[in-house]
Chain A
Amino acid sequence: DAGVTQSPTHLIKTRGQQVTLRCSPKSGHDTVSWYQQALGQGPQFIFQYYEEEERQRGNFPDRFSGHQFPNYSSELNVNALLLGDSALYLCASSLSSGRSGSAYNEQFFGPGTRLTVL
């Protein structure tokens, strides 16, 4: 099991463009969370997907959207890119304890996608 995988590794875009980042969860996991990590900062929660629905969202504008597929993989889309969107984007997967969730479930992180907006 390769664990959580993310693609691409690096990406360079210009302001105003749109980007799609992809994540495949660890085998057996059904929940995917996305984080933005700016340089020198901790990961900031963007949103979490479970059963193909957004279950919780952090303080990010609607330009950030996502999707989860039946095979539990996920995409993060960012529209109208701004310079401030430049960051490392992390995907984490976990096994949910059903709709009520569980705070105890360990998250497994991917290597991240480094997005640079020029």
Chain B
Amino acid sequence: AQRVTQPEKLLSVFKGAPVELKCNYSYSGSPELFWYVQYSRQRLQLLLRHISRESIKGFTADLNKGETSFHLKKPFAQEEDSAMYYCALSTTGGFKTIFGAGTRLFVKA
């Protein structure tokens, strides 16, 4: 079965604290993993993708094939990081993308 699981619906942290948004996936092929973000009153947009191995706005994500996880991390959360975060998996060829249910991150001052 193809599935993306984000176990936390809501994550609340203080400004400056580390943050980790969890994502686990199930896919028999070789997936490509993404994190998308939706800020208040904005469109869903790509935050980062596994293949790029980049850090965007201080966020990083490491693909762990053994644990089938792609957790999103940031060492020091900022208030502007408050948003809805979706983990997503693209199947071979990128013809289909499966999203998790999302985690709302709230960074408190």
Contacts and interface: CB of A to CB of B under 8 A. Distances in A.
Interface centre among B32, B49, B96 (most CB of A within 10 A): B96
Interface residues of A, number: 30
B46 interface: yes
A105 B86 contact: no
Interface string B23-58: 000000001100000000001111001010000000
A110 B99 contact: no
Contacts of A105: 94
Given A42-B102, A43-B44, A103-B32, A48 B86 contact: no
A40 B41 CA distance: 16
Contacts, number: 63
Contact of A103 (B44, B93, B100, B101): B93
A33 to B, nearest CB: 7
Interface string A35-50: 1000011111100100
B98 interface: yes
A42 B93 contact: no
Nearest to B84: A42
Interface of A: 3-4, 33, 35, 40-45, 48, 55-56, 58, 90, 92, 94, 96, 100-111
Interface of B: 4, 6, 31-32, 43-46, 49, 51, 86, 88, 90-102
Given A33-B97, A55-B95, A103-B51, 7 more contacts: A41-B101, A41-B102, A42-B6, A43-B99, A56-B96, A107-B46, A109-B45
29 contacts: A4-B43, A33-B97, A35-B99, A40-B101, A41-B102, A42-B4, A42-B86, A42-B88, A42-B102, A43-B44, A43-B86, A43-B99, A45-B96, A45-B98, A48-B96, A55-B95, A56-B95, A90-B44, A96-B94, A101-B93, A101-B95, A102-B94, A103-B31, A103-B90, A104-B32, A106-B49, A107-B46, A108-B45, A110-B43
